Chain A
Amino acid sequence: MGAINERVVIIGGGQAGIQLADSLRAQGYQGEISIVDDDRALPYQRPPLSKDFLTQGPAPEPLPLRAASFFAEQNIELRSGLTVLSVDTVRRSVALSDGSTLGYAHLVFATGARNRQLACPGAELPGVLGLRTLADAQQLQQALGRARQVVVIGAGFIGLEFAAAARARGLAVTVLEFAQRPMGRAVSTCLSDWFAQTHRDNGIDLRLGEGVREIRATGNSLVVGSSTGDEYDADLVVYGIGVLPNIELAQASGIHTENGITVDAALRTSAAGVYAIGDCAWFPNAFSGSRTRLESVQNATDQAKALAEVIATGSGEYAALPWFWSTQGALRLQIAGLAHPEDTPLVLGEMRAGKYSVALFRKGVLTAVESVNSPADHIAARKLLASRTEITPAMLREPGSTLKELAKRAVLIGA
């Protein structure tokens, strides 16, 4: 259960780091727990920042991950506003930006990811903003109050969420996306096409196959020049072109990294007593069989819970089903499992009614379900996929068959 002076140091107080500290205590871990986070704010949830936070009114409050009182109550030391500058994996200690050092028995990288920066000319102009932190969201929320036309660069989840929020505030919104489809490789093509059309019907000018070439300042406003030679006026430009995992500190400490900090199924890195979880971890996915890195609340939370068990009991591994959600205006998308554009889709329900799911099959077996405004389908799909119940297209094509019925039949959901 961890001797009293056996300290766990967690680098990063985001979704993964805070959950880990909480789950360690829930597991009865009695050693010291220190979280070092470079953000000054009380640790908060990021998902609302691109959703209600932007539409809620003048001074929205962030949603905390835990109450301020939680840390003292659980005897967890939270050192906010400090950066871990270096790690000594031989002496087992970390050096902080205030000059202090902390020894550890277990060290956890929960360093998350940062926005990939725009590289075009004009990317550094005022009025060109990204969205990752509370400070970013506060800046955007204020800028939205003054803006009339916005250009969003990148039609990924965050770009589209922001675009829908800006549209809901009555702004003129143009979205430039270099690829031919929004949300790229993370969703099926039929879902992606339906989202493109629905956002357009809602007044968003979605331009696919069109990237940004440059941004210029003209007086008080901006002009975005695109790869097709078109130009768009904007008083606010927001980019969401993906993230980069925060792996440099691990790299500099001699820890093995690839497209993230490499870990095994028990979330252990190449250095003894050092682990990685959340957006920064490059882990073996129990469902796809290959290594992957995921940016989702589920991934951060469930890896944290699995690691708490590994640290507190010395055994356990991470094998949870991936799931994800994205709210884009009135469109509520939930994905159970990992969707791939190559999978064979079967649409359940009416796409035209805006309430349906897309079941995705690989080699005739259900691998993922995308649900639009159908949370009950999503929950049922999660249960079916997590229990690895074999579902074929024929089973879903039977008259009256629904995911919920199938899950019930598998005695997974109580009556």
Chain B
Amino acid sequence: MPTIIFSQSDQSATEIEVSEGTTLMRAAVSNGVAGIVGECGGQAMCATCHVYVDPEFSAELDEIGEDEEEMLDCTTAARTEYSRLGCQVKMSAKLARIRVSVPNEQV
């Protein structure tokens, strides 16, 4: 099963093993990763699951959809080229040990 490493701005990190198809948001919310809220339940409608994906993995991700694109412009912490909505990134084998960092602010 692939692993996700969520890192916080204070350098602490949480490693979570999930089954394929699980989104980064669900993994974070189910395991109590601080700073990921998931207020809309994963509908790409709230932008409270914003994460920065480690550059090493950005090429492996599916493209940003239209809905996600629009919401990424509404995140509380600044958007960068590595910004994604955690609820729109599904885990797969090629993302094994993906690193993502959690912004300081979501709401």
A residues within 8 Å of B by Cβ?
A: 45, 47-48, 51-52, 61, 63-64, 66-67, 69-70, 73, 297, 301, 325, 327, 332, 334, 373-376, 378-379, 413-414
Contact = CB atoms under 8 A, between A and B. Distances in A.
B32 A69 contact: yes
Interface in B23-57: 26, 29-32, 38-45, 47
Contacts of B20: none
Contacts of A297: 39-40
B32 A63 contact: no
Nearest to B46: A325
B95 interface: no
A45 B38 CA distance: 10
B70 interface: yes
A66 B32 CA distance: 6
B41 A51 contact: yes
B29 A376 contact: no
Majority SS of interface residues in chain A? mixed
Contacts of A66: 29, 32
Nearest to A297: B39
B67 interface: yes
Interface of B: 26, 29-32, 38-45, 47, 67, 70-71, 73-74, 78
B73 A325 contact: no
Contacts of B74: 375-376, 379, 413
Given A48-B41, A325-B43, A327-B43, A375 B30 contact: no
A67 B70 contact: no
B26 A63 contact: yes
* A-B CB proximity, top 10 nearest: A67-B32, A379-B74, A48-B41, A376-B70, A47-B41, A45-B41, A375-B71, A375-B70, A325-B45, A70-B32
A64 B43 contact: no
A413 B30 CA distance: 31
A61 B74 CA distance: 28
Contacts of A325: 40, 43, 45
A277 to B, nearest CB: 17
Central interface residue in B26, B38, B43, B73, by most chain A CB within 10 Å = B43
Contact of A63 (B29, B31, B44, B71): B29
B6 to A, nearest CB: 13
